[in-house]
Amino acid sequence: GQNIDQPTEMTATEGAIVQINCTYQTSGFNGLFWYQQHAGEAPTFLSYNVLDGLEEKGRFSSFLSRSKGYSYLLLKELQMKDSASYLCAVRAINQAGTALIFGKGTTLSVSS
Amino acid sequence: EPEVTQTPSHQVTQMGQEVILRCVPISNHLYFYWYRQILGQKVEFLVSFYNNEISEKSEIFDDQFSVERPDGSNFTLKIRSTKLEDSAMYFCASSERSSGNTIYFGEGSWLTVV
């Protein structure tokens, strides 16, 4: 089975840095994705990690430790538009190995 | 930028009726998916489709559901006899290949069963 845990809610202020953690337990592992989802909209891709370490993409970075089943998404220089839900998703190894399984998401509220 | 398109954006249907949700995946993508998200809940995997057949499906995807690629561009999800609990946002998604490739989501079809 698969289990993905992330905090339900977080708050931060404009200009700050926030780290959203995700822990996972899967039968096999074939990559971890972070998506952003604004209310009523589709998830949009932010980052992908399959090897241990940090992937940086502008204001967003994502870290993975496969041995610990742990990832985080780091958002720097927060802006009001970053208020959204952040979804951690894992691709497990199975017969076809294609589907992503999502966590419940972390709702981030950025205030001024 | 190429995108996944879905129709309709919103559909209201009576319980017991059949519904077909349509999707046009990104043109060079080979893997297609349906996900759903009940209001306030997480995004849930339904089914993946490759090479004209289902490659995997979740427990949610029971005999009520079916998928089809009727031509070279469309990918459809059919719900045979809708129930109230089928009310959700249904997202179509696609990717170029299986592992290591980003899954891109359409804007969703919001289904309301009354």
Alpha carbons B20 and A83: distance in angstroms, whole number: 33
Q: Which residues does chain A have within 8 Å of residue B105's beta carbon, measured at their own beta carbons?
A: 35, 42-44
Query: Contact at 8 Å (CB) between B74 and B23?
Result: yes
Q: Do B56 and A48 touch (CB under 8 A)?
A: no
Q: Do A43 and B98 touch (CB under 8 A)?
A: no
User: What values do phi and psi take at B110, rounded to 5?
Assistant: -90, 115
Query: Contact at 8 Å (CB) between B37 and B54?
Result: no
pLDDT tens readout for residues A6-62: 999 999 999 999 999 999 998 778 899 999 999 989 999 999 999 999 999 899 999
Query: Contact at 8 Å (CB) between A26 and A44?
Result: no
| Token reading at A70 | 């742990």
What's the rounded mean pLDDT across residues A89-102? 75
Q: Which residues does chain A have within 8 Å of residue B41's beta carbon, measured at their own beta carbons?
A: 104
Q: Do B103 and A104 touch (CB under 8 A)?
A: no
Mean pLDDT of the residues in chain B: 93
Contacts of B19 (CB under 8 A, 6+ apart): B11, B13, B78, B79, B82, B86, B111
| Token reading at A99 | 């589907």
pLDDT at A2 over 90: no
Interface residues on A facing B, Cβ-Cβ cutoff 8 A: 30-31, 33, 35, 37, 40-45, 48, 50, 87, 89, 91, 94-105
Closest CA to A71 of A13, A6, A1, A12: A6
What's the rounded mean pLDDT across residues A72-98? 88
What type of residue is A83?
S
Q: Which residue has the tokens 């999502």?
A: A102
pLDDT at A99 over 70: yes
Distance from CA of A103 to the nearest CA of B (A): 7
pLDDT tens readout for residues B26-81: 998 989 999 999 999 999 999 999 989 998 899 999 999 999 998 878 999 999 99
Interface residues on B facing A, Cβ-Cβ cutoff 8 A: 31, 33, 35, 41-45, 48, 50, 55-56, 58, 89, 91, 95, 98-100, 102-108
What pLDDT score does B96 carry? 87
Q: Provide the β-strand partners of residue B110.
A: B10, B89
